[in-house]
A and B are shown apart, each in its own frame.
Chain A
Amino acid sequence: MSKGQARGIGFAGWGRTLGAASISLIYFFPVLFIILTAFKTRQDALSWPVKFIFTPTLDNFVAVFFRASVEGGAAEATGFGLYFFNSLFIGGTSVLLALIIGTAAAYGFSRFPLRGNETYLFMILTTRMMPPIIAIIPIFVLFRVFGLSGTYVGIIALYTAFNLPFSVWMVKSFFDDLDRDIEDAARMDGSGEWRVFRKICLPQVYAGLAATFVFAVILTWNEFVFALMLTSPQTRTVPAQIVRTIGGSMGVDWGLMSALETLFIIPVVLVTFALQSQLLRGVTFGTIRR
């Protein structure tokens, strides 16, 4: 915040800030509660009334990755290291692929409309209209037939396909908003179509690509149903494993669950914050002229 704004904040300003803070607290409370629980011992986590002041422990986080052996002896790995890697790898790769293919398609739809352009765009959109779970049986069968079940290639291809319609539509809207004169100027300056795209159009939509990237990452990171059905123990993602961690003979281990979830939201939070300024420009694209 600039100095001028800080000085200019008056009574009404404080009021607004306080109001915003309390509303944020209400929305953020469940997340806060999870983060607090992640640092509690089992006794603290289950105590009533809820403890807000307690001695924090990292035991839960350790337990995410290493489990004490039932027979005693050395702790064994839970496999969550692999699952986190899988989530990052599968999510990142599929979102990047969807973004690359989607950007190319969006540029084509925007700049070189086909006969029936709108129809094609609508068809792409319709694939997002039905709940994906409707297609789960055919997809399951297809994966079995083609040997894609439980492979990285299979799940990455599937997530890429899921992210594509969204990427195409969103990126197209950014291309649509660009000033065509700038491209004409580049053509007059001797540029071919590839150079116009690469040097002139693409840099202008970086903010939009970042926004699309974040939205797609969040969607993919949280995906559960297909991950549960179509991954093997080697390619399993975090959401598909969390569900297997709930319950057990001792009841739900809330501390462990919370630690898992806390770790799970960190990458998304990091990506969102890293791209925050781009994201803001991306989602307000077209409303604010630079």
Chain B
Amino acid sequence: MSATQSEIRLRDVTKRFNDLVAVDAANLTVAAGEVVCLLGPSGCGKTTTLRMIAGLEYATGGDITIAGRRVNDLPARERNVAMAFQFYALYPSLTVEENLAYPLHAEALPRDEIARRIARVAKVLELESVLRRRPHQLGEGEKQRVAVGRSIVRTPTCFLFDEPLSRLDIQLRQTMRTQIKEVLERLDKPTVIVTHDQIEALTMADRIAVMRAGRIEQVASPHDLFSRPANLFVASFIGTPQMNLLAATLLETAMLADGATLARFHLLGEDISAVVDQSVARLPPGSKVTLGVRPRGFELVAPDADDALHALVDLVEPMGAEMLLHLLEHGTDLRCVVPHTTRVAIGETVGVVCKRGQLHVFDEAGILVQ
């Protein structure tokens, strides 16, 4: 099967529940072997999108194509899509073995072929010792593995996961994450994972689709999402601690000798300059903008330094190897992460500058200037 044949493609997919638009013209393509995470706050439509791909909800508009075939009108059982549910949805009255065998029923396989497939999956997921148990006799990690096993025991066209790790404790989560990733890499099928946990998304996904209020705000690799958030929502949603977003006025821009663009901004009652993307030069002077700086994008300098923000240390939160500083200037809270060796005292005034390349400029509509 060629790569284009086994991809998932959403074109203007819309879901309305009476007056409520749950998913609004979503466009997304997931290639074979690619893992795409749908990430967003609860109620943003990510689970509805997943259920539409699965065939558990019908789209009210647009086209859903799986492996080159429009599946909008196909019921779930005819789509050959594998899905692992948030609460595993194991069949409570069947043993683990019967759970794993269940999806094979539709394929009408001979008995020894079924046994062979179950044995293979049980080996990969280390389930051999619990095959005779029923779901309520399993631990959380084992349930999760059975759920994964049930989806890989046949040969589906694609894989869907709904909050796959949300019920596991942190340690188990990391093991499972690696295990799921390994399994998926071997299968070379398109995979869609729904999650509200950005760490999960950032570690598991090749690309992430950030959703808000039914719309896909940005689809990008974890790196691009982090370094070039398309708008204020994505900027504030991705990354912990949250990105600092500061209202500012663009004063002027100038071209430096090395070709970089230097911009001067007025914010928090001070004037500072910083190297910005060259496209900022297109904005007229006097434009209202929002500056985005990640807490790790700040650097402390001497309190009397020029061309820096001057703020009061309000709170110090130790975070292990780093410290999170809350700085106050003109009633605005600046979050700033520094190495734990930095010597600061509460109530002290510090100078803060933005590291080169760490300043994101958003226009008045909240869109990244690029």
Residues of A bordering B, CB below 8 Å: 179, 181-182, 184-192, 195, 199-200, 203-204, 206, 290
**Which B residues touch A186, using CB under 8 A?**
91, 102
**Which B residues touch A185, using CB under 8 A?**
83, 85, 89-91, 150
- Cβ of B241 under 8 Å from chain A: no
Known: A204-B92, A290-B136. A188 touches B105 (CB 8 A): no
**Which B residues touch A187, using CB under 8 A?**
55-56, 75-77
- Cβ of B257 under 8 Å from chain A: no
Per-residue interface assignment for chain B, residues 56 to 70, with 1 indicating a CB less than 8 Å from any chain A CB and 0 otherwise: 100000000000000
User: In the assembled complex, how far is the CB of residue A269 from the closest CB belonging to chain B, in whole angstroms?
Assistant: 29
- Cβ of B125 under 8 Å from chain A: no
What are 6 contact pairs spanning A and B, CB under 8 A?
A181-B85, A185-B150, A188-B54, A189-B103, A191-B102, A192-B77
**For chain B residues 12-71, which have a beta carbon within 8 Å of chain A?**
54-56
- Cβ of B321 under 8 Å from chain A: no
Contact of B103 among A179, A182, A190, A204 (CB under 8 A): A190
A-B contacts besides A181-B87, A184-B89, A190-B105, 11 pairs, CB < 8 Å: A179-B89, A181-B86, A182-B89, A184-B85, A185-B85, A185-B89, A185-B90, A185-B91, A188-B55, A190-B80, A190-B107
User: In the assembled complex, how far is the CB of residue A5 from the closest CB belonging to chain B, in whole angstroms?
Assistant: 22
User: Who on chain A is nearest to B78 by CB?
Assistant: A190
User: In the assembled complex, how far is the CB of residue A109 from the closest CB belonging to chain B, in whole angstroms?
Assistant: 21
User: Who on chain B is nearest to A187 by CB?
Assistant: B76
Number of interface residues of B (CB under 8 A): 27
B90 to A188, Cβ gap below 8 A?
A: no
Contact of B82 among A184, A188, A191, A203 (CB under 8 A): A188
Give Cα distance in the complex from A189 to B79, angstroms: 9
Residue among B55, B77, B150 with the highest chain A CB neighbour number at 10 A: B77
Give Cα distance in the complex from A192 to B86, angstroms: 22
Residue among A184, A190, A199, A290 with the highest chain B CB neighbour number at 10 A: A190
B91 to A182, Cβ gap below 8 A?
A: yes
**For chain B residues 138-158, which have a beta carbon within 8 Å of chain A?**
150
Give Cα distance in the complex from A179 to B79, angstroms: 22
- Cβ of B2 under 8 Å from chain A: no
Give Cα distance in the complex from A181 to B83, angstroms: 11
- Cβ of B81 under 8 Å from chain A: yes
